[in-house]
Amino acid sequence: MSAQPSVLIIDDESGILDTLRILLKKEGFEVFVAQGGKAGLDAIRGTGADIVLTDVRMPQVTGLDILQAVKEQDPLTPVILMTAQASLQTAIQAVNAGAFYYLQKPFANDELVAILRRACEFRQIRVENKQLKQEIRRSGGGAWPVVSVPVGKSRRFLDVLRLADVVAPTTSTVLIGGESGTGKEVLARYIHEASHREGPFLSINCGALPETLLESELFGHVKGSFTGAVRDKQGLFAAAKNGTFFMDEVGEMPASLQVKLLRVLQQREVIPVGATEAIPVDVRIIAATNRDLEEEMRRGNFRSDLFYRLNVIAMELPPLRERRDDLILLMDRFLQDLAAERGIEAKALVADAMDAVMVYEWPGNVRELQNALEYATVFAKGREIEAQHLPDRITRRKKEPLVADRAQPNPQLDLIERAYIMFVLQAEGGNKTRAAEALGIDPSTLYRKLSRYEGTEVK
């Protein structure tokens, strides 16, 4: 990809083409435009653009046709689909066909630019990986490294990735917060891979080891320093020289080791167990926690001076229930990965399974979603994943009456809204796309509301 990334815009409305051309040129993109799907097909072959941005609803040649043509010519080219008439079914079809993003009009300019920049990085990483694989094969090597590319398009998630892009080239310490399973290590790896550090990425879970073993793993030890220390051992801080050291669940670290970690951050040196001399270390530290460290400070469980040393750049990964717009993208990624791992054709969720996934709360976040799809892939014998193939906890929900037999004298507005939505949904035979149209809201908005009403029913 050239230093100035190029984008091909395909739309049947000249006004939109002109607006996007002006916007993206100002943002540093080389811009090609094609009015209509037929002209778009010719432009795909003629421009060789790094990214394709196309409308979905066009006469004769649709955006999905454009997507298929791009994938046939160059599978590495990201395609972003945009439409003013979004539907869940079309979104699923688009993502399953390999679309990078499915963007609903109208959209904010900064949102579009952010997605295009992510698409550029995604393409660059895929091109480099392909070249690396070819080089390893030519040299007779075996496996190649897998680059972690975080997946998502929700605003909160994109805000985190933008901050990661800014921070990656620096040496600043990063503290990543978020519930368990939100992808904190994936984000840490992404920061490392986008940095200029040439050393390795090493990690440890601070809550998974007893204190004495954790100390030895972190700082190393010298021979004879304790029973069983039959040789010198290099600690992870030293082993991650010129690289990145990721400390997961740092809030679980015992108080005695918090003092030693503070020394590493202040002095950039470690003292192995049993040693008397300090060893300098050159390592970038990224820590993560699912605890509220400020609350832990108030309780006296976490040192305030250590917190402020770790909290130089703070990032907070949102839970999956707050980024439901990313569910389809994440499912597509995991299903494609599972298919590649097993050497089979990727499976897809049918309507009842998709409904169950979209309204489930996902307390285990992205990790739980990944595990649920792996479970479903095992039990679904054909290409289609049905609700019955998902874990029981996702499909079995306790039913509680949404509207009681006796009306409340002064019902809350939220209760009235829920009752009306369920009434419309029943009137449309359970079809959520038609119900959303009748309600005058987007399907994604309806799914978010239904997720809040999980397990309810109208009586």
Mean pLDDT of each 10-residue bin along the chain, 459 residues long: 81 92 93 93 87 91 90 85 70 68 83 86 69 50 48 86 88 93 93 87 88 86 73 87 93 92 91 85 94 92 94 94 87 88 87 88 93 93 92 73 48 69 76 79 74 52
pLDDT score for 324: 84
Q: Closest Cα to residue 9, out of 103, 97, 86?
A: 103
Strands 243-248 and 283-289: parallel
Q: Give dist(CA 55, CA 2) in Å, integer.
A: 25
pTM: 0.59
Bridge pairing between strands 269-270 and 279-280? antiparallel
Question: What are the structural domains of the chain?
Answer: 6-126 (3.40.50.2300), 155-318 (3.40.50.300), 321-395 (1.10.8.60), 400-457 (1.10.10.60)
Q: What confidence score (pLDDT) does residue 143 get?
A: 39
CA 197, chain centre distance (Å): 23
**pLDDT recorded at residue 326:** 87
Q: pLDDT value at position 404?
A: 46
The two structure tokens encoding residue 120 = 């550029």
Confidence at residue 413, expressed as pLDDT on a 0 to 100 scale: 66
Q: How far is CA 402 from CA 90, 279, 427, in A?
A: 31, 64, 16
Residues 6 or more apart whose Cβ sits within 8 Å of residue 435: 421, 424, 425, 427, 428, 446
CB 224 within 8 A of CB 267: no
Identify the pLDDT of residue 367: 92
